[in-house]
Amino acid sequence: MKILKSKVEKVAVVGDPRQKSTFVGPVIDETAFRKYQRAVEQARKDGKVLVGGEVPKMSLPKGYYVTPTVVYGLPSDHRLLKEELFVPLVAVDEVSSLDEALERANKTEFGLTAGVFTKDPREQDQFFEKIRFGVVYANRKGGATTGAWPGAQPFGGWKGSGATGKGAGGPYYLLQFMHEQAQTVVGDS
């Protein structure tokens, strides 16, 4: 947890998204801002906030600004460990094995992206074979579970994170918008 905390504190520069030094700009709208505030409040009540959980007190351009937040110590069935919030908040938890991690991940209603870090090729294979998410990564340091490469890989979730399992940009995506039609003309026109 110490390493995670120091990394987040190091990169979590909140500010004007037009500035190169900014890591986190505003969340998309007031609804997301309120969702973030409720999640932080719930994390403080049911677990602990490791880093973040604040609304910056600084002069910033128009928008809803929040600090990147890491929470932990939540009960294993807590909603913050299961739901996609789309705000800069991540809930972390400890597991005793890769099997337990896969089981818990696959029990969620969502399945957009997932990632694993391992030096063991067998664990990597196990992860790819058993995880039920649309975009999955192993050992990807830059954006461990986000950031599909447009034009190089499809992007789409499974379960509640995508209706079809056909990722945008993939070879099967366009086909879901097409209909087959057999046309026959008999005789002279």
175-185 pLDDT, tens per residue?
766 777 776 77
Same domain, 85 and 15: yes
Residue 130 banded pLDDT, cuts 50, 70, 90: very high
The reported pLDDT for the residue numbered 144 is 57
Domain hosting residue 154, numbered range: 95-167
Alpha-carbon radius of gyration of the chain: 21
Q: Is residue 188 part of a domain?
A: no
Asked if residue 80 and residue 104 are part of one domain, the reply reads no
* Residue 181, domain member (yes or no): no
DSSP 8-class letter at 27: B
Q: Using 50, 70 and 90 to split pLDDT, how confident is the model at 161?
A: low
Together in a domain, 32 and 83: yes
Instruction: Convert 14-23 to b/e letters by CB count within 10 Å (16 or more is b).
Output: bbeeeeeeee
Instruction: Identify whether residues 15 and 79 lie together within a single domain.
Output: yes
Residue 189 has what pLDDT?
Answer: 66
pLDDT at 167: 59
The answer to the question of residue 106 being in a domain is: yes
Q: CATH no. for residue 73?
A: 3.40.309.10
The domain tally of the chain equals 2
Query: pLDDT at residue 75 above 70?
Result: yes
Residue 51 in any domain: the answer is yes
Domain shared by 65 and 135, yes or no = no
Domain end point (choices 94, 121, 142):
94
Task: Give the integer Cα–Cα distance in Å for 126 and 131.
Answer: 8
Could you tell me if 150 and 69 lie in one domain? no
pLDDT at 184: 72
Clarify whether residues 18 and 86 are in a common domain.
yes
Confidence of residue 153 (pLDDT cuts 50, 70, 90): low
Distance (Å) of CA 73 to CA 43, 145, 172: 9, 21, 41
More confident residue, 35 or 188: 35
With left for phi above 0 and alpha for psi between -120 and 50, is residue 117 left, alpha or beta? beta
Q: What is the pLDDT of residue 114?
A: 87
Q: How does the average pLDDT of the chain come out, rounded?
A: 86
Distance of CA 117 to the CA centre of its chain: 16
Residue 162 located in a structural domain: yes
